[in-house]
Each structure stands twice: as structure tokens, then as C-alpha cells.
């Protein structure tokens, strides 16, 4: 038990240090990296580190991250980035963009965020790993992919219907706040473990956000935000603070536990 505690403490130090090194390199030593490289450094290396320590969990966590990441990414991109012009990504490693505007990096970001949160959760917080996935995963797939399909059809045939002010906020409330709140009201025993995950990833997401803004990986161009957060001469919407940094861990763990845990 003591050995396990010491090993996990060491793991936490490593995971904390990696984003900090990248952050300091950008802000103090003017390191110039593109969006794709920042993803690999801030999320990819820690993901690989935890994966090597949890090889038996890679398949389940990776599979779930893909299933959840694809529809969530497309929904937010079409509603917020396209419909409400909330943000733009000026440069991408590929000339081709999904739907004409969505860069590959945004899809990779969603996958990496979900994957690293869940592999972190499994490594540090969940002592009883389940290899098999609950049949409830079909509910998630049907719901998220049906919504995504409908939004894509609207984008193809009547894109003007996607112009909804404050769509980032509205989508975040429907897809993030409501499911997490309902789950934790029903299964309150998960609150503390979810909180620990979210607390750590608040730090990770904040570092990544500031790196991206500093290097112009993305620019928030929208006018329909409930407010702004200013740090180090940079600013980002309150929605970004709320849905990515504060609630990101809660949301990923909520979907993961409810739709894969056979014991619930």
C-alpha cells in the first residue's frame, strides 16, 4: 500500500511537471510550437505515460474517448464555432478542414482531453476497473450520434438555422451541466473522486488555454459570451472556464461511469 502511494505520488509529480515545463518554455523562453505540437506535448506525453502504466485499460478508455469525442466535438464546432462564430483556428497542419472550417487539431483535442481525464481517473481514483462495458453505452451512442446527425443535416441544407446566439453556453448547459448534476445527485459517492480529477485538470486546461492564446492557436471572435477572464494579458470566455476547466473532469467522468459501469 505504501509503495503504491509513493508510486502514484511520483506519477502525479511527473504529470504536473510536463505541462508546467511547456508553459514556462512558451512564456519565459519564447518557445514557438504549433497547435498540433502543443497537443502532443501537453496531453499526448502524459497520456502515453499513464497508458504505459495502465496497459489493460487503454482499450476501454480509448474506445470510449473516440465514441464520446467525435459527436461532442462536431456538435460544439457546428453550433458555436460555425453558427455563433465563437472562435476560429487560424492555422492547421492539414490544408483540409472538416465541414470547411473544423481543423484536425480540434478533433484530436477532444479525444486527448477525454482520454487523459479518464486514464487519470482510472489510475488514481478508480480501484475497481471493469473491462466490460455496460449496455447503456448504446443509449449514449444513439443520443449523441442522432443529435450530431441532425445538426450535420441542418448544416448541409439549412445552415442559417445553426445561427443561435450563446450556443456555446446553451450546448454546455444541455450536454454538460444537466447530465453531471443529475448523475451526481443520484450517485453522490462519486463527487469526491470526480472533484479530485477536475481539480487537477483545471490546472492542465488553464495552462493549455494560455499557451494556445499566447501562440494564436485559436482566437475567440464571438460576441455572445456571458463574460471574459483575463490573465497574463490574455483573455478567454467564461464559458471556456466553466465548461472546459471547471466542469471538464466532472463531465467526462459522469459520461464514463454512467454509460460503462455495469454495477450502476
Residues 6+ apart with CB under 8 A from 79: 151, 162, 164, 167, 168, 170, 171
- The pLDDT, as a whole number, for residue 65 is 98
- The pLDDT, as a whole number, for residue 8 is 86
Give me the residues of the chain with pLDDT under 50, please: 2-3
- The pLDDT, as a whole number, for residue 126 is 82
Give a three-class secondary structure readout of 248-264.
HHHHHHHHHHHHHCCCC
- The pLDDT, as a whole number, for residue 129 is 81
- The pLDDT, as a whole number, for residue 264 is 86
Residues 6+ apart with CB under 8 A from 58: 51, 119
Q: How many CB atoms lie within 10 A of CB 27?
A: 14
**Cβ-contact 179, 253 below 8 angstroms:** no
**Cβ-contact 59, 133 below 8 angstroms:** no
- The pLDDT, as a whole number, for residue 37 is 97
Its pTM stands at: 0.96
Strands 219-220 and 228-231: unpaired
**Cβ-contact 245, 117 below 8 angstroms:** no
- The pLDDT, as a whole number, for residue 6 is 79
Q: How many CB atoms lie within 10 A of CB 6?
A: 10
**Cβ-contact 197, 246 below 8 angstroms:** no
Amino acid at each position: 500500500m505504501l509503495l503504491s502511494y509513493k508510486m502514484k505520488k511520483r506519477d502525479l509529480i511527473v504529470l504536473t511537471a510536463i505541462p508546467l515545463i511547456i508553459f514556462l518554455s512558451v512564456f519565459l523562453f519564447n518557445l514557438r510550437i504549433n497547435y498540433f505540437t502543443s497537443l502532443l506535448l501537453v496531453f499526448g506525453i502524459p497520456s502515453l505515460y499513464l497508458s504505459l502504466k495502465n496497459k489493460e485499460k487503454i482499450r476501454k478508455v480509448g474506445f470510449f474517448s473516440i465514441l464520446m469525442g467525435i459527436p461532442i466535438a462536431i456538435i460544439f464546432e457546428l453550433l458555436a464555432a460555425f453558427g455563433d462564430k465563437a472562435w476560429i483556428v487560424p492555422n492547421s497542419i492539414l490544408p483540409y478542414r472538416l465541414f470547411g472550417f473544423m481543423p484536425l487539431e480540434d478533433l484530436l483535442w477532444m479525444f486527448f482531453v477525454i482520454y487523459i481525464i479518464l486514464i487519470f481517473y482510472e489510475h488514481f481514483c478508480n480501484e475497481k476497473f471493469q473491462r466490460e462495458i455496460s449496455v447503456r453505452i448504446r443509449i449514449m451512442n444513439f443520443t449523441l450520434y442522432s443529435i450530431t446527425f441532425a445538426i450535420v443535416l441542418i448544416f448541409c441544407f439549412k445552415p442559417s438555422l445553426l445561427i443561435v446566439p450563446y450556443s456555446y453556453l446553451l450546448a454546455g448547459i444541455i450536454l454538460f451541466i444537466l447530465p453531471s448534476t443529475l448523475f451526481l445527485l443520484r450517485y453522490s459517492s462519486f463527487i469526491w473522486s470526480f472533484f479530485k480529477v477536475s481539480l487537477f485538470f483545471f490546472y492542465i486546461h488553464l495552462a493549455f488555454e494560455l499557451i494556445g492564446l499566447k501562440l494564436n492557436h485559436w482566437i475567440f471572435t464571438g460576441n455572445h459570451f456571458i463574460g471574459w477572464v483575463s490573465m497574463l494579458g490574455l483573455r478567454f470566455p467564461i464559458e471556456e472556464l466553466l465548461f472546459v476547466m471547471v466542469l471538464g473532469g466532472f463531465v467526462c467522468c459522469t459520461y464514463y461511469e454512467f454509460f460503462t459501469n455495469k454495477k450502476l
